[in-house]
Structure 1
Amino acid sequence: MSAVTVDTADDVATILLNRPEKLNALSDAMIDEFFAVLDDIARSSARVVVISGAGRGFCAGFDLSLAAEDGGGDERFWASRQERFGALVTRVRGIPQPTIAAVNGAATGAGLGLALACDTRIGSTAVRFSSAFVRVGMSSCDVGVSWLLPRAIGTTRAFELMLTGRMVEAEEAERIGLILRQMAPDQLLEEAHALARAIADNGRMGTWMTKRGMWANLEAGSMQAAIELENRTQTFMLGTGGLASRAAERGFTKPAKG
């Protein structure tokens, strides 16, 4: 059985991490499967992507049963593995479709990084977040968390969570902005798909450029640089002819000359 499955309906692709006996902890093979799925979706007609986990967990991060591996004594083994896992964040960000994490349970370590890599997050009442690596002899600066978490919740809270590795459960996660809202577990995917359809209704190109512009401007050096990118994006979008057609579809027609 595949450790990463995908189902597409109504222009929404749903990726399911499917290793429930391990709380969807990531192995090397699972990362390879995930990247292949993302590549396929990037080329597909899907307009929005929902990412969730099978069973009780969203993703428990790196599979610690692999921690003793040494790659046959090759000193490059762990560096290569680290770079491969770290690329998970940029690959999720890099696909053109907006992404929604439907966080159904534990999202720890690299699982926290994966959830943060998505453009927004909805959580079930069973959700639990932790930058867990600091509790097992490693650093919490892993899989993009040190860049993404402070941008999601601010530096004061991010430092506390990363230095302690403590668990954040659903109510707190919603209060501090780690998730958009919390839902009963049996309503989580339905809510995520409803949000995905609302995004998809706005059209493929506009949502793609919004995603790209938002992430790019999180790294902009000044407000003026951000506005410059916005201006260029809007000028490009105007050239597609989408403004006139969408305005007409929504009843904003040009008055007839009298």
Structure 2
Amino acid sequence: MIVEITEPGLVVLTMNRPERLNALGMGMVEEMRSALTELDDDPSVRVIVLTGTGRAFCSGADVQSAVEGFGAPDPDKNPVAGVFRVQEQIASLNELIHRMKTPVIAAVNGAAVGGGFSLALACDIRFASESAKFGSIFITLGVSSCDMGTSYLLPKIVGISRAAELMLTGRKFDAEEARAIGLVQDVVDDGDVVERALQTARQIAANSPMAVWMTKETLWKNVDAPSFRHALDMENRTQVMCTFSGELLNAFEAFVHKTTPTWKDL
């Protein structure tokens, strides 16, 4: 992984295995988990842009390494348990992104398929280059398309029927279709997608760190709210907490004096 502070508060985190199209080997999964955890613990980091080196954002699981790793089964070990542990390790990366207080924007610069597709879904916002390709291709490999959070996130982003069609066919689709179905917010020329993501990152970073954290957390909690009343209760409690952080008074004073608020660090 390459960690680059492009300007105060903004970090570009780049998957750097271009020879494998940034495939998710266990080494890269752990490296990314470590980098994301460290960045999320750093109060100076306001927004993270996630992208890939070379022709791909992320081509999914590192199939070549997995095939090379298959040897004679150990008769004393349960093969299901072993695979389940690996599955949990990889899937927990997307859970980490989803639960982080720091917003993560995917700058999809090429193929985002399989696990790479799920990784993009786990990010809060997505932008794509013209050459980007997407696909929930697990089903074409003989396993379920319900993997790494896809069955939870994709229907919430594009709708249940559209998600069903994409997951059951396993077909790949381009950036323009991704924009048309609401999967990505914008499509830009190749080479410009990170800067496009940074434009939105700057807008986010201009807001109070506390307000950004509580907005991300409450938004994703209320996606699963069992009722409108539950969602309102969560919002009301969050607003009271944010109000007593002092940021609202800070904003009011800045408005009166026609200045820019100076927000408190987390």
- Return the TM-score normalized by structure 1: 0.94
Counterpart of 2:249 in structure 1 is: 244
Q: Deviation string for 1:193-247 (max 9, x for gaps)?
A: 1110110001211000000001100111111101100000000000101001022
CA distance in structure 2 between the partners assigned to 1:252 and 1:149 by the alignment: 45
Amino acid at match of 2:58: C
Counterpart of 1:59 in structure 2 is: 58
**Which range moved further: 5-14 or 62-71?**
62-71
Amino acid at match of 2:12: T
Counterpart of 2:114 in structure 1 is: 109
Amino acid at match of 1:203: S
- Among 150, 153, 156, the alignment partner of 2:155 is 150
Structure 2: unaligned runs, 5 residues or longer = 259-266
CA distance in structure 1 between the partners assigned to 2:255 and 2:175 by the alignment: 38
**Which range moved further: 155-164 or 183-192?**
183-192
Q: Deviation string for 1:1-41 (max 9, x for gaps)?
A: xxx12112320111100001111000011111011001110
Counterpart of 1:140 in structure 2 is: 145
**Which range moved further: 66-75 or 163-172?**
66-75
Counterpart of 1:256 in structure 2 is: none
Q: Deviation string for 1:85-137 (max 9, x for gaps)?
A: 11111111122111110011110111111101001101111111101111111
CA distance in structure 1 between the partners assigned to 2:121 and 2:256 by the alignment: 37
- Among 88, 97, 101, the alignment partner of 1:96 is 101
Alignment RMSD (CA, Å): 1.4
Q: Is the 8 A contact 1:5 1:18 kept in 2?
A: yes
Secondary structure, in 3 states, of the residue corresponding to 2:192?
A: helix
1:200-211 alignment runs, 5 A limit:
200-211=205-216
**Which range moved further: 177-186 or 5-14?**
5-14
CA distance in structure 1 between the partners assigned to 2:159 and 2:219 by the alignment: 17
Secondary structure, in 3 states, of the residue corresponding to 1:185?
A: coil
CA distance in structure 1 between the partners assigned to 2:8 and 2:131 by the alignment: 27
Aligned residues: 250
CA distance in structure 1 between the partners assigned to 2:55 and 2:143 by the alignment: 25
Secondary structure, in 3 states, of the residue corresponding to 1:141?
A: coil
Counterpart of 2:29 in structure 1 is: 31
CA distance in structure 2 between the partners assigned to 1:252 and 1:173 by the alignment: 44
Q: Deviation string for 1:124-151 (max 9, x for gaps)?
A: 1111110111111111000000000000
Amino acid at match of 1:54: T
- Return the TM-score normalized by structure 2: 0.91
1:71-82 alignment runs, 5 A limit:
73=74, 74=77, 75=79, 76-82=81-87
Q: Is the 8 A contact 1:70 1:77 kept in 2?
A: no
Structure 1: unaligned runs, 5 residues or longer = 254-258
Counterpart of 2:4 in structure 1 is: 7
Q: Quote the offset at 1:59 in angstroms.
A: 0.4
